[in-house]
């Protein structure tokens, strides 16, 4: 009896771990956007490192934004995630909306969350 339970658990575990992971275009876009924001906020990076990482992330984000914008399944979908992403276009599609507004991507994101350059210049850094 115990062997049968153990064998069943092993088979179930093998089936669950072999299932392919699926991430759609919006999930990939959100993941890369959060990576870019983490680079922007990382206090351990110097200016050159931050610019390099953000530039790399910007290229990836531009590709992922194009993929999401051209995804026919998203155009037909009425899921809450899809509706929220397209309703909040300015913050969801950072590369495209920053280019449309004529600002850099980090500036566009910071102003989108309500921080201005003067706010940042007046802030104190505490570690």
pLDDT at 2 over 50: yes
DSSP symbol at 103? S
Cα within 13 Å of Cα(43), Cβ side: 3
pLDDT at 81 over 70: yes
pLDDT of residue 117: 75
pTM of the model: 0.71
- Domain residue limits, the chain: 25-122
pLDDT of residue 18: 46
> Rounded to 5 degrees, what angle do the CA atoms 84, 86, 87 make?
60
Residues 105, 58: contact at Cβ < 8 Å?
Answer: yes
Residues 6+ apart with CB under 8 A from 61: 29, 32, 33, 36, 94, 95, 105
What mean pLDDT comes out for the span 78-105?
89
What mean pLDDT comes out for the span 16-27?
60
What is the Cα–Cα distance from 98 to 91, expressed in whole angstroms? 9
Q: How many residues are given for the chain?
A: 127
What is the Cα–Cα distance from 113 to 19, expressed in whole angstroms? 38
pLDDT at 105 over 60: yes
Mean residue pLDDT across the chain: 82
% of the chain at pLDDT higher than 90: 35
Give the pLDDT band (50/70/90) at residue 59. very high
The pair of three-digit structure tokens given for residue 62, joined into one six-digit string = 């531009």
């Amino acid at each position: 009896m115990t062997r049968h339970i153990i064998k069943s658990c092993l088979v179930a575990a093998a089936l669950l771990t072999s299932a392919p992971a699926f991430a759609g275009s919006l999930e990939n876009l959100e993941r890369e956007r959060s990576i870019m924001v983490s680079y922007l906020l990382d206090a351990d990076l110097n200016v050159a490192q931050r610019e390099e990482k953000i530039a790399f992330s910007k290229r990836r984000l531009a590709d992922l934004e194009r993929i999401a914008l051209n995804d026919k399944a998203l155009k037909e979908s009425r899921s809450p995630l899809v509706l929220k992403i397209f309703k909040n276009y300015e913050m969801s599609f950072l590369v495209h909306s920053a280019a449309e507004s004529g600002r850099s991507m980090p500036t566009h994101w910071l102003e989108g969350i309500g921080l201005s350059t003067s706010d940042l210049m007046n802030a104190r850094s505490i570690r």
